[in-house]
Amino acid sequence: MKMQVHNETLPASLEQADQVFVYLPDDYATKFSNLLEILGERGHGYNDMNEMIEDILAETNTTDHLLVMSNGGFGGIHQKLLDGLAR
């Protein structure tokens, strides 16, 4: 994502998602603004990881499926989501 190689293909890969939460640190926000525009109301961009996690947990129902795509730990997002879902 950093090199914007997937800018053209990423929106199509998210087509079937009901909601898309994207972590966009300050240096990424302008690079991926078109992604959020394409996703419309389904797309949510964040530069604060904890705020994004809170919103994901608030929007998640017991029958939902979550897919986390990352190339790193992103502040422990995987465990934080699991812990939040367990509550």
Q: Up-side HSE of residue 86: CA atoms within 13 Å toward CB?
A: 6
C-alpha angle with apex 10: 60 to 12, nearest 5 degrees? 85
pTM over 0.85: no
Query: Which one has a higher pLDDT value, 81 or 32?
Result: 81
pLDDT at 6 over 70: no
pLDDT at 1 over 60: no
Q: Which amino acid is at 14?
A: L
Query: Tens of pLDDT along 35-86?
Result: 888 889 999 999 899 999 999 999 999 899 999 987 777 888 999 999 999 9
Angstrom distance (rounded) from CA 32 to CA 4: 8
Residue extents of the structural domains in the chain: 10-86
